[in-house]
Structure 1
């Protein structure tokens, strides 16, 4: 075993003792990042090239700083995004939300789909849809000024940037002052804040101490922003258009009721992620 692999083994033990959920993966990912190789190439790093900064990175992760903040990047579907303090780090669970949405848009008989991404954060959802639905146009809304810095950076670096428009503002009031957008959108999608304020102490340190509070918490029951998203989606979507909203795995029995028939919705349903946990709700705007 070369020196780096031996250090990775020690680092794995340290991260496991600190309660890091994926200690081996994180130890290897940090080693690869520091040494400028892929994880599968760690064995090729000569002992003489071992970089002591590795242990600085491990100490940061041991203190439960997000892996993505240390490396400065997050992978989401086919994207590599820049992330850091001030922006919500995209999670793998959201990939299943986007997967459903992309399939729904592709099934529509629409040449150039119009999409709204509410609470855009890093821009992960907006950019994934723009990349995988090549003729789509996406309007992304983000309120937090710090997060907007990262959203702009990722959009500006994207080859699909011409089809993604970023709006600085409250997602629950999207296009409120411009009625010309009402009833035009094919898809409204959102990964909004949904953690109840009463559950602050139960949130993982990586999120609680490093993700923006605006991206995490939403009222006493966690559903305040989702209710606002419902009202915006009802206004923006055309008849037959769909809304997709992520939620906590404990909210699968509540969120579909927000998109009820009295508000002009049909086919409200909840869906599970790849871990078989309730993860997102979809609904269709009723056709008169």
Structure 2
């Protein structure tokens, strides 16, 4: 059996198991095992041709794990975010494409400050794996980036990513609502992808429901907005006059989030949509 035939068979098995992107996942698992792009593999090549027969067994093992709906990112130990390849592991939220636009809004705001000749100060609350903080740090290299996370498991993953990509990012273990009091009134951008799922809104996706940590999913309170409220309060004290606030939320929470942000005295409050056209994050400014 050639590698390509094995991948096609694996894709069929994954599709049967309900995996959302079976063809892509089968290809990525094969590339992970082989350590090379499948596009560089001759069409007639077998696993044995490219190493040894054990590679095929290893591929079958990983496909079975994916069939059980273990996240692809946990299997390969990697996840993509914007231009970055990040370490992924159980205990840290698997970052989603929707959050790339949240990062973009923070990057744009930080870059605007940098263009004035000043080093922007950026705080990422509930950083998880560090994805947003690292996107800002690498795309706006002038920025001084601080990333806050309460979970020790997530912080360990963030530390791996920071050490590998941008060691100058400052990682802080702490509660988002009380973090970094020494920066009060001096921050140019506060960005956050906090937990925001209500307790009765169990995620449909098996990968999310069974593998992402509850601490990264459920925001607390009947509406799931306890943690986002704490984040908004922290942003209101951290931001300098004219500073920008960006926070992800669920589509159905857009109006409630706008209200809570405005109640904290932030202005120019607006909801932005994700790549699927869903209300996904709020952007606001501290007046001044």
**1:31·1:42 contact (CA, 8 Å) conserved in 2?**
no
CA distance in 2, matches of 1:40, 1:255: 45
**2:110·2:143 contact (CA, 8 Å) conserved in 1?**
no
1:126 aligns with 133
Which has the higher mean CA deviation after the structures are superposed, 42-51 or 94-103?
A: 42-51
SS of 2:252 mapped into structure 1: coil
2:21 aligns with 22
Which has the higher mean CA deviation after the structures are superposed, 235-244 or 10-19?
A: 10-19
Q: How many residue pairs were aligned?
A: 279
**1:120·1:140 contact (CA, 8 Å) conserved in 2?**
yes
Structure 1 residues 1-288: aligned runs within 5 Å? 3-43=2-42, 46-47=45-46, 48=48, 49=50, 51-108=56-113, 109=116, 111-158=118-165, 160-162=166-168, 164-175=169-180, 178=181, 180-200=182-202, 202-219=203-220, 220-260=222-262, 262-287=263-288
Q: 1:172 to 1:42 in 2, by over 3 A?
A: farther
Which has the higher mean CA deviation after the structures are superposed, 48-57 or 191-200?
A: 48-57
RMSD: 1.5
Give 1:121 shift. 0.7
CA distance in 1, matches of 2:278, 2:41: 34
Structure 2 residues without counterparts, runs of 5 or longer: none
Q: 1:280 to 1:42 in 2, by over 3 A?
A: farther
Q: 1:276 to 1:11 in 2, by over 3 A?
A: same
Give 1:51 shift. 2.2
Normalised TM-score (structure 2) = 0.93
Which has the higher mean CA deviation after the structures are superposed, 70-79 or 31-40?
A: 31-40
**2:2·2:43 contact (CA, 8 Å) conserved in 1?**
no
Structure 1 residue runs of 4 or more that deviate by more than 6 Å after TM superposition: none
Give 1:96 shift. 0.9
**1:32·1:42 contact (CA, 8 Å) conserved in 2?**
no
